[in-house]
Amino acid sequence: AQKITQTQPGMFVQEKEAVTLDCTYDTSDPSYGLFWYKQPSSGEMIFLIYQGSYDQQNATEGRYSLNFQKARKSANLVISASQLGDSAMYFCAMRGGANNLFFGTGTRLTVIP
Amino acid sequence: DAGVIQSPRHEVTEMGQEVTLRCKPISGHNSLFWYRQTMMRGLELLIYFNNNVPIDDSGMPEDRFSAKMPNASFSTLKIQPSEPRDSAVYFCASSFLRDASSGANVLTFGAGSRLTVL
């Protein structure tokens, strides 16, 4: 069975600063994928970044990077140079063995001007 | 690309009524997912189709819920009879799955259908 844990219900960051959102996971599958999605107040789910379990390098997409530590089973999202528009809920998710996607409980990020 | 299209966007109904939520996935995608989002339970996977065939329906709460995918471009999620505890946002998502070991099976979500059962 897969499990995703996000222990930070809420986070605050000053505009232009970097912030790390934590995500730990548990799975018995040797091959898996980790995803981060953003959900702004408007409600849509927006894909941000993906990391495969066999990828050698940490994934990066613009201001988003994924700090993947396989031995620790963590896949933290790093947002650099935070902007006011980054205020949203952020969900970590893992691809299961049946290729479905399981989500964590989310972290609400608030960017302070 | 129009994205994943869900209807209705908002539905208010009374307990006991039948509710049908509709989804049109992205053309060319072969996997379709129904999720439910509530404050208490977060995002829950209800059911997942691959090539129009239900693969995993273990998340469907009970027999009042049913989902169909008659063709590659349309799916429905039906609740009959509806209850107040079914109030939630229901998301449909689709993706293109190359093979069973495919890594980046990125799901594209629809805007969601907000259901309120009085």
- Spell out the residues 6+ positions from residue A74 whose beta carbon is closer than 8 angstroms to its own: A22, A23, A24, A25, A67, A68
In degrees, rounded to 5, the angle at the alpha carbon of residue A25 between the alpha carbons of residues B50 and B86 is 55
Chain A closest-CA separation from residue B56 CA (Å): 8
In B, minimum Cα distance to A38 occurs at B109
Residue ranges of chain B whose pLDDT lies below 50: none
Q: Mind listing the pLDDT tens digit for each residue in A8-18?
A: 999 999 999 99
CA distance between the termini of chain A:
41
Residues in a beta bridge with B32: B49, B94
Q: Mind listing the pLDDT tens digit for each residue in A42-65?
A: 999 999 999 998 888 999 999 999
Chain centroid, CA B26 distance in Å: 14
By Cβ distance, the residue of A52, A54, A100 closest to B33 is: A100
Residue A77 has pLDDT above 60, yes or no: yes
The pLDDT, as a whole number, for residue B101 is 55
Chain B closest-CA separation from residue A66 CA (Å): 14
